Copies of this chain bind each other. A is one copy, B any other.
């Protein structure tokens, strides 16, 4: 509880700095004033200032309080725009996947949340009830496009997030990844070109490789996401068939695209009659409980295909995802039938029962607190142990950190290899680029509770990154 409060205070101040309300060199409110304003103890504020110091955001000046550092720690750089179209090679992904999947003691590699943070017991109980409640469950192919009660919940939540959605707009899939694959198939054929964020989720790149698609990498910033001016130029140069993005707390760099950019993106694509394949699996995990709208909320004519799942918030092993494919509904439904016929019934019904029970929002609030504090802890440890000059993203949601090492450091691939030998998994930067950029970047997944072992692992990574072995 204490850690949660401390983190909340730290984030409050960080947000003021972020927004420019507090400028470099300016004095931050005193401990006492802040404690009063936020209704917390002064001890909590003192703790929060230590965090902010560790994160390099403020510095203490003797007898006069805390000041915003004139050199705030820098975010990882976005890549230089090249905007040529490149084939995506499955080969690079291949080796990287294998090492990602290795069992490791300290799991900073895969983007998954610790089972301890998920309501698995309650879900299991509900799955049990569901499985026994009706003999007919599972006895026939689930009628497309999925279990009706689940689709109703998904539609209701989407509508609450600004996307007017009816249950009949939703198609249930085997996780978000099947949804993305179906969308890509619906709008592009082998040899076609699509725009992707750079860096982008490697699962998308692996799909592009399998489908024989070319990628144009659009530079994306770890604060605001895809650079739309670069996307506009890419449209001039290429016959793009789709744009693939994770606008809310992107993977790997954690960006949250601002609403005005989302609106612009939706209109750019609508005007050009090109699909946006939007993935929103992290959208339910804002650290400040301010659930961002998806780009789908700004979609006028159905050009946004919205993909998501419960894999990051409830149960990855249930494999319950969905897509709201807009104007491509018929084609996606058909493709779902051709590729996997239907999704399993029990898991859909168990998730629907969980949503029925009304505990999802409460669970999300708890989960967000935990993830926010875990992300903060990893940020702090990286600030302490990684080589000077290391840049770290400052995501406001999700649980992924994107880290840029200074040029003098070892390559991320070498770091990954050395780390694995010590039982630590990470995701190296080149996995997130079609052309293998981001040689000195890495993604750390902070889905697991902070621990002494985690701290030692970050220390080890820091040393290895600096070239100590």
Which chain A residues have a beta carbon within 8 Å of chain B's beta carbons?
A: 94, 97, 101, 110, 112, 115, 118, 120-121, 123-125, 127-129, 131-142, 144, 174-175, 177-178, 181, 185, 189-190, 203, 206-207, 210, 212, 311, 315-319, 334-335, 337-347, 350
Q: Return chain B residues, CB-CB under 8 Å to A315.
A: 138-139
CA distance A341 to B207 in the complex (A): 11
Cβ–Cβ contact B97 & A124, under 8 A: no
Copies of this chain per assembly: 2
In angstroms, Cα B132 to Cα A378, docked, is 34
Q: A178-B339, A342-B317 are in contact. Are A132 and B140 (CB under 8 A)?
A: no
**With contact pairs A120-B139, A132-B128 given, residues A318 and B346 touching in the complex (Cβ less than 8 Å):** yes
A121-B342 Cα distance, complex, nearest whole Å: 21
For residue A319, which residues in chain B have a CB less than 8 angstroms away from its CB?
Answer: 340-344
Q: Are B344 and A317 in contact (CB under 8 A)?
A: yes
- Chain A's interface: helix, strand, loop or mixed, by majority? helix
How far does the alpha carbon of A207 sit from the alpha carbon of B336 in the complex, in Å?
Answer: 11
Is the CB–CB distance between A136 and B115 below 8 Å? yes
Report the minimum CB–CB distance from A187 to chain B (whole Å). 13
Rounded to whole angstroms, the CA-CA distance of A174 and B341 in the bound complex is 9
A207–B338 Cα gap in the complex (Å)? 6
Complex Cα spacing A174 to B129, Å: 23
Given A120-B138, A127-B127, A128-B128, verify A190-B177 contact (CB < 8 Å).
Answer: no
Q: Looking at the assembled complex, report how far the CB atom of A331 sits from the nearest CB atom of chain B, in whole angstroms.
A: 9
* Smallest CB separation, A282 vs chain B (Å): 16
In the complex the two chains form, is B212's CB within 8 Å of A185's CB? Answer: no
A359 → chain B, closest Cβ, in Å?
Answer: 16
State in angstroms the CA–CA spacing of A212 and B189 once bound together: 9
B residues near A311, Cβ cutoff 8 Å: 141
Question: Contacts A112-B141, A317-B344 hold; do A210 and B175 have CB atoms under 8 A apart?
Answer: no
- Excluding A140-B316, A317-B345, 5 further A-B contacts by CB distance (< 8 Å) are A127-B346, A128-B128, A139-B315, A174-B344, A189-B190
Min CB–CB distance A190 → chain B (angstroms)? 5
* Nearest Cβ on chain B to A371's Cβ, whole angstroms: 16
* Interchain Cβ contacts under 8 Å between A and B, 16 examples: A97-B334, A120-B136, A120-B137, A123-B131, A123-B138, A124-B137, A138-B316, A138-B317, A138-B347, A140-B317, A141-B316, A141-B317, A174-B174, A174-B343, A178-B340, A346-B350
